[in-house]
Amino acid sequence: MKPIKVGLLGIGTVGAGTFTVLKRNQEEIRRRAGREIEIAMVADLDTERAKAIVGSSVVVVKDAHQIVDNPDIDIIIELIGGYGIARELVMKAIANGKHVVTANKALLATHGTEIFRAAQERGVMVAFEAAVAGGIPIIKALREGLTANRIQWIAGIINGTTNFILSEMRDKGLDFDVVLKEAQRLGYAEADPTFDIEGVDAAHKATIMSAIAFGIPVQFDKAHVEGITNLQASDIRYAEKLGYRIKLLGITKRVANGIELRVHPTLIPTNRLIANVEGAMNAVLVQGDAVGATLYYGKGAGAEPTASAVIADLVDITRLATADPEHRVPYLAFQPNEMSDTPILPMSEITTSYYLRICVADKLGVMADITRILADGAISIDAMLQKEPADGETQTDIIILTHQTQEKHVDRAIAAIEALSTVVAKVTRIRLEELS
């Protein structure tokens, strides 16, 4: 049987890793796929660098359209990233009847509905295991391994940069800005780390997982996105004293009146396995009604871990290329005509517990005023910690953990607390999830 011919668009870190792993494990992959998989063409703006990686046996071009339009190419791997030219090339590849493998979570989170519809109409496959959590096979687990389950919720550490920063802040007691510079020096954070530290990257991934888990369209525009830039080292210390660790979590949850889809710093009990995921590692916790909780852990980025997921998609497509399109695994796990219109809830309607840090003047009656406001808002206190002011200090921190309540009630309570003359700074609010 003739080899499957692959066109690779972009040979940066992941592209080079994909070429290397595919070449190194070629025989093993052939035995699994049933036929040889061969990268026949590569497109990259830096053609000299590309040629140095792939050698003389692979055609290297600058214009990716030459690959997408080549009738001899069976599968396109898109590793360019972004929303612009990547979308154009993917849509053109689909129109030309080519299968697509992509690691582009931003593209799928924003244009996935359009891309999957086009692929369905053309009868081609779009595979994207590498788009979420690098080498961890979480997409396959959600689409296939857990297909018997009614997924209840997913909570994931799905951005290695922010997890590294939070781990360093906890271990060394340093503030965010200091650790970010160190992360950039070590290569864990980009020169422009905005997508990572503001939670956008994690929200792209959470959006994709939510669509697969609950059979809804991808709706990144409805996700609540909050990063870690406002976290203080003091919050991490207080959380530790109360038995919690702070992680940037992507959370999607099925509740009675809709779907929650949110990314934000979160307190997690220290005794949860996911709370102990450190450094640049990723982990995804999935709760299903039949299987219970399952945890998926591994490297969320890097050349070869991500290449592992890209090549797994290549093998899947190779195995199924001749199958009736109606009998393939659906892109988002549910049959396209069975997608749900269950709404994604606004943040004001979500229910969780809260950590509140309130900086107050060290005066009598402050605590009574705060507890009265919380009681008036039907917000129940679970635990409290008050820092004793040092000699000469005129203000102190009060830390409150609440029981579960709706976000809109906490919004109103925070506004009332900040209006008190004895409260000297904005209230710090961090959500809390037991994940039990």
d(CA 278, CA 170): 10
Residue 436, amino acid: S
Q: Are 149 and 259 in contact (CB under 8 A)?
A: no
Residue 392, amino acid = G
Active-site residue, from 105, 205, 247, 253: 205
Residue 228's identity, in one-letter code, is I
SS3 of residue 436 by DSSP: coil
Is the Cβ–Cβ distance between 407 and 353 less than 8 Å?
A: no
**H or E element, residue 30:** helix 26-33
CB 250 within 8 A of CB 202: yes
Active site residue 205: yes
Q: What's 386's DSSP letter?
A: E
What residues have CB less than 8 Å from 8, skipping those under 6 apart?
Answer: 15, 18, 19, 39, 41, 42, 43, 67, 77, 79
DSSP, collapsed to helix, strand or coil, labels residue 419 as coil
178 Cβ contact partners less than 8 Å away, ≥ 6 residues apart: none
The single residue listed with the structure tokens 């290449």 is 307
Rounded CA separation 154/348 (Å) = 20
**Closest to 20 measured CA to CA, from 54, 51, 58:** 54
* Residue among 223, 142, 169, 159 nearest 193 (CA): 159
Pairing, β 244-255 against β 151-157: antiparallel
Q: Which residues are catalytic?
A: 205
